A and B are shown apart, each in its own frame.
Chain A
């Protein structure tokens, strides 16, 4: 276990209890129970359609859950818009397709939310943005538009954009799935660096090397349920359920 995997506190960052969600009549998440400690880095994997993306999208209320409770940093997610906005401003999210704002420059992408949500003066927000753009190693692209950047660069901007809100928790929804193989590494490096800084992270990904290197815990989901969770070494070397074994043999087998 690397050094980064050590720093976990007892404080609960996210607490999900008996959470259920349906799309129409389709039961997409079934009885999810999950506690995430501050500083913990969790990788969620599973076959497509298993509900792993839906699960982390419930945490910042991009998807509504119908039963059970989700508490993020002590704020209970309900239909109250104020609570939802509060949680969202504390939780950063990176998407599979980056979702940068194409009509704004890279710098404007990064300063928009701090200026309008946090009410930070423009100058200060720009300094923060440049700081994080340097951290993801693309400060020289600040005045370009997202359409002019490569996929890997766009995803790093998306990470910087989230970090500019100084979130306490980061969610990653398959951040490398839409990238060319050459660009996956630069994004993963950025995420590893983030993990080493002690960020609480939930990451839906199939990058098992990343999971081994930084995760404290790997969660395997299938058919809307958490099937297995364990420390990465145990999870990969000694999977318990047949479904997990099959999945691992399929993604690691070639």
Chain B
């Protein structure tokens, strides 16, 4: 047995940790590995460089030679004398219409501008948990302030609406504690209606009390309209989506049925048909004489539409949670609303962030569809009043480039934020 090696082994001194081997670095190595690793990659790299260069070489002179100071497309062509060049003067002359629509009073442009600035202040504490929490007070006031600034009229209108909501909430809390959820909800709704009704007399009596010049909904337009529709619909459809997703998981067959039918119906219908419904058909459902604002009708439709999608995204998040989380919450004696609010939804929503952002970005871009029902949003302005004006007929590239730029900045910002948020919420490994 002398040829069997001795397999016994004991380590007496531990191996000390050492630094990892130094990576071979350098630009040339990186290029060779990533761009020219074999002949197929080399050909693809050269082709890509060729096309990118072609696009840049063709578009740069066009942008650079652009004319900024003329007052019509014809003058642009005269100045350019057949050389390639953009006619940027349309943007100089019509930027205000592209941003605010063509009927919003010029002397009131500061109002939507201020509203937009305040919007950033309003969403900052919602987006960034580290900011002081009392900033949320402003976020709560903001919707009413924004309504007053953009639509004008007396400050009393939004104040009455805010008061009615507060009254409804207080009534709900009080009654819920005494009699339960359903009666609490009913009392809350009654309280809202009552305060709104009483408040309508006050606003009718004092229409000039701290009033701004009123602007009708049909005068809203441009990118402002896209932003209004986008922010309002996204912020309304997320809570509605959560309710629908929970409803779809409910044990109560009627609630579950309603949610399933609603979600499946909305998802099976193109948004554009819903917008036509909002435009022409919806008024048949209201008593004659009621003239529900067109923007409000469109907001309702887009909100319902995106809520159905968000509900499905959140349902995916709920399904992805291990059953143990529900059981742990149950075993500690948390009731259903507590378990949902404290345990299930924070985790499910975290999983759903990419999907929700996807829907939100899509929704924001889909607001351009309202141009089809003759609302003059950014695209509607370009297609309608600007392109059909005698001075600028036949101009497309410059206008749509601005539209693309505006939408891209907003959507890219949203997507970057969501990625940042995902990193912030990651608690599984630090």
Interface of A toward B, CB cutoff 8 Å:
60-62, 81, 85-86, 88-89, 91-93, 95, 97, 99-103, 112-113, 116-117, 145, 147-148, 161-162, 165
Nearest chain A CB to B135's CB is how many angstroms away?
Answer: 22
Interface residues of B toward A: which range?
A: 20 to 34
Chain A residues positioned under 8 Å from B332 (CB to CB): 88-89, 112-113, 117, 161-162, 165
Instruction: Count chain B CB atoms within 10 A of each CB in A62, A81, A86 and give the residue with the most.
Output: A62
From the candidates A92, A103, A117, A162, name the one contacting B350 in the complex (CB within 8 A). A103
* CB-based contact A165/B333 at 8 Å: yes
CB of B325 within 8 Å of the partner chain: yes
Chain B residues positioned under 8 Å from A162 (CB to CB): 331-332
Chain A residues positioned under 8 Å from B343 (CB to CB): 101, 112
396-430 of chain B: CB within 8 A of chain A: 425, 427-430
Chain A residues positioned under 8 Å from B333 (CB to CB): 85-86, 88-89, 113, 117, 165
From the candidates A95, A113, A116, A165, name the one contacting B327 in the complex (CB within 8 A). A95
Chain B residues positioned under 8 Å from A102 (CB to CB): 347, 427-428
* CB-based contact B427/A147 at 8 Å: yes
Q: A95-B327, A100-B328, A162-B331 are in contact. List 15 more A-B contacts (CB 8 A).
A: A60-B331, A85-B335, A92-B331, A93-B331, A97-B322, A99-B325, A101-B329, A102-B428, A103-B427, A112-B332, A112-B343, A113-B334, A145-B428, A145-B430, A165-B333
* CB-based contact A101/B325 at 8 Å: yes
* CB-based contact B428/A99 at 8 Å: no
* CB-based contact A88/B325 at 8 Å: no
Nearest chain B CB to A103's CB is how many angstroms away?
Answer: 5
* CB-based contact A116/B338 at 8 Å: yes
CB of B346 within 8 Å of the partner chain: yes
Chain A residues positioned under 8 Å from B331 (CB to CB): 60, 62, 88, 91-93, 95, 162
From the candidates A81, A85, A97, A147, name the one contacting B324 in the complex (CB within 8 A). A97
Closest to B339 in A: A116
* CB-based contact A148/B430 at 8 Å: yes
Nearest chain A CB to B427's CB is how many angstroms away?
Answer: 4
Closest to B321 in A: A102
In the complex, 19 of the A-B residue pairs with CB atoms within 8 angstroms, ordered by the A residue number, are: A60-B331, A62-B331, A86-B333, A93-B331, A95-B328, A99-B322, A99-B327, A100-B328, A101-B329, A103-B346, A113-B332, A116-B338, A116-B342, A117-B334, A145-B427, A147-B427, A147-B428, A147-B429, A165-B332
Bound together, the chains give a CA A145 to CA B66 distance in angstroms of: 57
Bound together, the chains give a CA A249 to CA B429 distance in angstroms of: 42
CB of B330 within 8 Å of the partner chain: yes
From the candidates B328, B350, B425, name the one contacting A101 in the complex (CB within 8 A). B328
Bound together, the chains give a CA A195 to CA B224 distance in angstroms of: 67
Closest to A95 in B: B324
Closest to A96 in B: B324
315-359 of chain B: CB within 8 A of chain A: 322, 324-325, 327-335, 338, 342-343, 346-347, 350
Bound together, the chains give a CA A145 to CA B33 distance in angstroms of: 40
Nearest chain A CB to B330's CB is how many angstroms away?
Answer: 6
Nearest first, the 10 A-B pairs at minimum CB distance are: A89-B333, A99-B328, A99-B324, A113-B332, A147-B428, A93-B331, A88-B333, A145-B427, A117-B333, A116-B338
- Take A99-B324, A102-B428, A103-B347 as given contacts and tell me if A116 and B334 are in contact as well, using a CB distance cutoff of 8 Å: yes
Bound together, the chains give a CA A52 to CA B119 distance in angstroms of: 57
Closest to A86 in B: B333
Chain A residues positioned under 8 Å from B325 (CB to CB): 99, 101
Chain A residues positioned under 8 Å from B427 (CB to CB): 102-103, 145, 147
Closest to B430 in A: A148
Bound together, the chains give a CA A86 to CA B335 distance in angstroms of: 10
Chain B residues positioned under 8 Å from A117 (CB to CB): 332-334, 338
Chain B residues positioned under 8 Å from A112 (CB to CB): 332, 334, 342-343
Bound together, the chains give a CA A93 to CA B327 distance in angstroms of: 10
Chain B residues positioned under 8 Å from A147 (CB to CB): 427-429
